């Protein structure tokens, strides 16, 4: 990946930030994006302090125009695009019956349409370089969980989009990778939306027991090098995907009980 140009959406925190450092250590040239310029600038300065070539772009992946400008910025700065990592995402936690549909739309717009928009504008240039398109999906894209209906739907949609795209471009030298992290330590649960669009604030899970974002980034980087089709991370994540294929009914019950036992779970007042 030395001297390859890599775009990472949502590159100022979590897995996106860890990927920026991983690609940077390997000599890649980076464009990191995000909605909050202050966090982007801090990450850009941290990367540059390590001698990494990086440029930041402030934009919202859910806005089509911002994605077009993001791609043009990468071309103006570096002249080419080799890898697009669709990492930007948000989560939510609420019963569907209580969920404002505007919250559902927002999650879909960021997680799904953000991936579609960025990929649409990057694809012509990645076809030229025979590069890679990566989607940071989730185990929730293979096994949905209750009280996360919008998040699960957005990740299932991303999975379908990437699978269709992969079969369109695989004969033209473009690699498409779908990454499904299990529980990974990041700020996605802290910034998850509630039923009415407020920020959750506190993670309902023990973040210290999760896979670190830096470890996930190492696996993802290697999967790109190895041109893998899929990557499911964490033992728990791999087991969930496998058991959902073999024992789907049992997994419904198991998943319900596990999510009901989360602190302050929206399911806590429902029957056992």
Residue range 28-56: mean pLDDT, rounded: 96
pLDDT at 128 over 70: yes
pLDDT of residue 198: 85
pLDDT at 207 over 80: no
Instruction: Average the pLDDT over each of 119-123, 158-162, 233-237 and give the range with the smallest value.
Output: 233-237
- Give the pLDDT band (50/70/90) at residue 201: low
| DSSP characters over 101-115 | HHHHHHHHIIIIIHH
pLDDT of residue 187: 63
pLDDT at 203 over 80: no
256 counts as catalytic: no
Q: Assign residue 51 a region: left if phi > 0, alpha if psi is -120 to 50, beta otherwise?
A: left
- Compute the mean pLDDT over every residue in the chain, rounded to the nearest whole number: 94
CB 121 within 8 A of CB 68: yes
Residue range 37-60: mean pLDDT, rounded: 97
Given the structure tokens 């049992």, which residue do they identify?
250
Q: Identify the burial level of 68 via C-beta atoms within 10 angstroms of its C-beta, where 0-12 means exposed, 13-18 middle and 19 or more buried.
A: middle
pLDDT of residue 199: 83
Architecture of domain 5-235: 3-Layer(aba) Sandwich (3.40)
Residue range 7-31: mean pLDDT, rounded: 97
Q: What residues are paired with 179 via a beta bridge? A: 136, 231
Can you list the alpha helix ranges (DSSP code H) found in 83-233? 101-108, 114-129, 149-169, 213-225
Given the structure tokens 């009280």, which residue do they identify?
147
Instruction: Average the pLDDT over each of 26-30, 66-70, 191-195, 252-256 and give the range with the smallest value.
Output: 191-195
Residue range 62-77: mean pLDDT, rounded: 98
pLDDT of residue 206: 58
pLDDT of residue 183: 82
Stated pTM of the model = 0.93
Q: Which of 151, 156, 221, 256 is catalytic?
A: 151
pLDDT at 190 over 90: no
């Amino acid at each position: 990946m030395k001297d390859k140009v890599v775009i990472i959406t949502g590159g100022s925190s979590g897995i996106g930030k860890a990927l920026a450092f991983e690609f940077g250590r390997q000599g890649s040239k980076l464009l990191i994006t995000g909605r909050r310029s202050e966090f982007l600038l801090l990450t850009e300065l941290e990367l540059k302090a390590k001698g990494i070539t990086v440029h930041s772009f402030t934009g919202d992946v859910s806005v089509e125009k911002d994605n077009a400008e993001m791609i043009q910025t990468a071309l103006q700065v570096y002249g080419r695009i080799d890898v697009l990592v669709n990492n930007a995402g948000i989560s939510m936690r609420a019963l569907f019956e209580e969920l404002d549909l505007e919250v559902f739309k927002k999650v879909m717009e960021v997680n799904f349409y953000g991936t579609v928009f960025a990929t649409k504008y990057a694809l012509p240039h990645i076809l030229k370089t025979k590069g890679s398109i990566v989607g940071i999906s989730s185990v929730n894209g293979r096994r949905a969980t209750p009280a996360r209906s919008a998040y699960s739907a957005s990740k299932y949609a991303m999975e379908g989009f990437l699978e269709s795209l992969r079969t369109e471009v695989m004969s033209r030298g473009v690699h498409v990778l779908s990454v499904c992290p299990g529980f990974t330590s990041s700020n996605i649960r802290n910034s998850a939306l509630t039923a009415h669009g407020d920020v959750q604030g506190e993670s309902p899970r023990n973040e210290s027991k999760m896979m670190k974002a830096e470890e996930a980034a190492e696996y993802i980087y290697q999967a790109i090098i190895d041109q893998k089709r899929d990557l499911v991370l964490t033992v728990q994540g791999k087991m969930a995907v496998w058991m959902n294929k073999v024992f789907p009914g049992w997994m419904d019950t198991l998943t319900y009980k596990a999510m009901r036992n989360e602190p302050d779970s929206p399911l806590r007042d429902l029957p056992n």
